[in-house]
Amino acid sequence: MLIKIQTLQSIPRPERDAAIEQARSIFFETSGRTEFRDALEKAEFEKKYFNIFLENADLFFLARLPNGVAGYLAAAENTTGIHYALHPYLERFRPLISTRYPSHFHINVTGAARGLGTGSLLTAACDQALKNRGSPGVHIVTLATARNTVFYQRNGFVREAETVWNGKTLLLMGKPLLTR
């Protein structure tokens, strides 16, 4: 199966708009959250975990199959004030983020495209783009017990720090991009 990695910016409109909507569908499919009190709560959830990445990502990659988008990765070269404001737990990791892993990304792959190397292709494209920009490293934050930690470790991330936030143990994993 041929998976093509593209930046969102390289896709012409209106095809780009359709690709964004497919990525948005993948976001909701993979979020694990299916119930909301009302439309406002759903919109806030979407803003905090999808739109923020779409609107503030320096890089937005899509994994495309012949029948549509199979996954996406949104990356920011530098974790900025907006990220800290929306995700206050990041403050607990600020020393590592500001010195070793200033870049971060958010990745989601549809269930049908898992196990095909889709996530690894997206991660490799992001790594190269961030290296080209001179980023020393990239981080992700996930639940310490999440299954996705295995994926990140296979893709070069190491467990760096944990913190408890709202009763859940969060894990910062980092990946150096430039050799010193």
* Residue 140: CA count within 13 A, CB half-sphere: 26
With contact defined as beta carbons under 8 Å apart, do 70 and 6 qualify? Answer: no
Percent of the chain beyond pLDDT 70?
A: 98
**Residue where the block lists tokens 């295995």:** 150
| Average pLDDT of span 2-14 | 92
**Residues 78-99: b if buried by 16+ CB within 10 A, e if exposed:** ebeeebeeebeebebbeebbee
* The pLDDT of residue 180: 60
**Residue where the block lists tokens 């969060």:** 170
SS3 at position 159: strand
pLDDT in tens, 131-151: 999 999 999 999 999 999 999
pLDDT in tens, 24-40: 999 999 988 889 999 99
Q: Residue 121 belongs to what H/E stretch? A: helix 118-132
pLDDT in tens, 50-60: 998 888 767 99
**Strand ranges, E, within 67-120:** 68-76, 103-109
May I ask the CATH class of domain 4-134? Answer: alpha beta
pLDDT in tens, 151-175: 999 999 999 999 999 999 999 999 9
More confident residue, 180 or 25: 25
Beta-bridged to residue 162, according to DSSP, are 171
